[in-house]
Amino acid sequence: MSGPLDGLLVVDLSRVVAGPHATQTLADLGARVIKVEQPGEGDETRGWGPPFADGVSTYYLSCNRGKESIALDLKDPADHGVLLRLVERADVLVENFRTGVMDRLGLGFGRLTEINPRLVIMSVTGFGHDGPEGGRPGYDAIVQGEAGLMSVTGPPGEPSKVGLSVADVLAAQNAVSGILAALYERERTGRGQVVRTSLLASVVAAHAFQGTRWTVAGEVPVSLGNDHPSIAPYGTFRCADGLLQIGVANQAIWRRFAPLAGLDPDDPRYAALPGRTARRAELTAEIETALAAAPRATWLARFEAAGVPAGSIRSIDEVYTWEQTRSQGLVVTVDHAALGPIELPGPALRFDDHALEPSAPPLLDEHGDAIRAWLEKREDEGREPVAG
């Protein structure tokens, strides 16, 4: 398919979420992504469920659109040779094995760059490839705990996991950024390089203001539920028929919001942000007393008219039926080889000059014969195969 990365070949040795999500983004952007999977089993997420759709894991479908699949046993000399022939022609290789596995498979980074000096290698690990705990296996939930995310999430005193694989997805987006930077540098140097990221690095780098609360101010952040530690009112509030979100992030918004909630914007208790934050519980009680007079739809209309940021708390099904979601290309229809037309979450980027139209996630080894035939054709055109 066409896209900004049209013409790039990506060899995807990754499994589960972080690596596959990164290579899915590259596929969305137009790269040709060849996913290498274990014969008979494939990516382990092919077996993760329920839910399954006619035997197909919806988990696997979530991060493998736009790819081709070839099944290769990397311990088999013939299949190992096929992989090296792909490496010779690739622009990017992505792997997320534990540290040392690539070397044991005869795929050390030195060997790969010897075969193809222009190759960009992206290595995604759980906790980093070196350091005192480098090489630890890193699943998303474990890293959310180790990297401090759970300590600032959930009700007070109850560390909670984010309901998405956020460590994996952050690592995936950092991987994409690193790959694109290395490809840009390759235009100047003519050489690829090894780029690394990890789930730990990606979560710590995303701490933002929670990190500097400790590194600069010496304050250890704690979980506050849906409240913001530095801004009030900012979070979830109860109205006559349920909950809504309100974000009063500056003084101008406060002065528009306060009269709607029956508050005096110049009340000395709340006039300045530090006072509102210090009296958060008292302020919330007064706001919810006012909100109890009308349903959510009424309040959202009033806040929108006044320029006060507010919103619903939607369930996942409501998000995907929301007209705004669909207007942004965030739901795509693809034709799956086994399931027929299905809807998937769409890419987050839009380009005025390219219509990103992802294809369906592949069946295991769906493109194996075609990929081998393509390699043979390339070699018949004069390129020598690489020894396995």
How big is the CA angle at 309 (ends 304 and 314), to the nearest 5 degrees?
90
Residue pair 19/96 in contact by the 8 Å Cβ criterion: yes
CA distance 232 to 261: 14
Ramachandran area for residue 132 (φ above 0: left; ψ -120 to 50: alpha; else beta): alpha
Residue pair 273/258 in contact by the 8 Å Cβ criterion: no
Confirm whether 168 is a catalytic residue: yes
Report residue 85 as tokens: 């022939």
Residue type, 279: R
Residue pair 109/121 in contact by the 8 Å Cβ criterion: yes
Which residue among the candidates 28, 91, 140, 168 is catalytic per the annotation?
Answer: 168
SS in 3 state form for 6-68? CCCEEEECCCCCHHHHHHHHHHHCCCEEEEEECCCCCCHHHHCCCCEECCEEHHHHCCCCCEE
- 164 - beta bridge partners? none
Indicate which residues carry an active-site annotation.
168
